[in-house]
């Protein structure tokens, strides 16, 4: 299950990992697609949706907290990973963008309690093999 702010690239990542073409549109509800659970960015951006994230995570094996490497802030609260009873990993997205800051993104995730972090780009095909191995 992927969680993270709107526009960080959750749906894009699911599409490329599923062998589908990129067709980004806003995710409006929790969506079960193959081996993935996609969630709307609003579920992280608004605390009143936290219970929905927790409930949905019961159906998954791994929660991936997704942080965009181009962003100068993060909405993941400190130790957010601990609210889940599932394995939690971090995924940094958009590492292909010039001027992005991967280390900053990793710090945000570490502060949110994430131990294992994967750097990725759906556009430049980075880190997708690692994620694919994890799924298998
Ligand atoms: N440069 C770059 N852009 C990306 C990458 N992944 C996604 N994007 C772009 O980021 C934008 C948002 O992608 P989405 O996959 O829709 O983001 P999301 O996290 O699903 O957003 P919500 O559904 O609103 O929560 C799109 O314009 C994508 O083309 C990437 O690896 N690199
Ligand atoms: Mg989406």
> What is the per-residue pLDDT across 82-129, written as a single tens digit (0 to 9) for each?
999 999 999 999 999 999 999 999 999 999 999 999 999 999 999 999
- Which protein residue's CA is at the shortest distance from atom 12 of ligand 1? 7
Ligand 1 midpoint to CA 108 (Å): 19
Give CA–CA dist 59/91, Å, rounded: 20
Nearby residues of 112 by Cβ (< 8 Å), 6 or more positions away? 65, 74, 76, 77, 78, 79, 80, 81, 90
pLDDT of residue 25: 85
Structure tokens at 89: 């990993």
Ligand 2 midpoint to CA 110 (Å): 23
User: Mind listing the pLDDT tens digit for each residue in 43-52?
Assistant: 999 999 999 9
* Whether the predicted pLDDT of 59 surpasses 80: yes
Residue 114 · residue 65 · CB < 8 Å: yes
Residue 10's pLDDT band, with cuts at 50, 70 and 90, is: very high
Residue 80's pLDDT band, with cuts at 50, 70 and 90, is: very high
- Which protein residue's CA is at the shortest distance from atom 30 of ligand 1? 94
Ligand 1 pocket test, pick from 1, 5, 12, 126 with the greatest ligand atom count within 8 Å of Cβ, gives 12
pLDDT of residue 22: 82
Which CATH architecture describes the domain 2-135?
Answer: 3-Layer(aba) Sandwich (3.40)
The whole-model pTM stands at: 0.97
Residues 60-83: b if buried by 16+ CB within 10 A, e if exposed = bebbbbbbbbbbeebbbeeebbee
């Amino acid at each position: 299950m992927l969680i993270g702010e709107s526009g960080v690239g959750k749906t894009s990542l699911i599409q490329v990992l599923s062998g589908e073409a990129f067709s980004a549109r806003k995710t409006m509800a929790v969506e079960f697609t193959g081996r993935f659970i996609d969630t709307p960015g609003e579920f992280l951006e608004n605390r009143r949706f936290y219970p929905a994230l927790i409930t949905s995570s019961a159906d998954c094996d791994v929660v991936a907290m997704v942080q965009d490497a181009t962003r100068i802030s993060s909405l993941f609260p400190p130790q957010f990973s601990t609210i889940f009873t599932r394995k939690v990993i971090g995924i940094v997205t958009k590492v292909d963008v010039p001027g992005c800051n991967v280390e900053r993104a990793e710090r945000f995730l570490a502060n949110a309690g994430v131990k294992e972090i994967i750097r990725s780009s759906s556009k430049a095909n980075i880190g997708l093999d690692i994620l694919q191995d994890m799924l298998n």
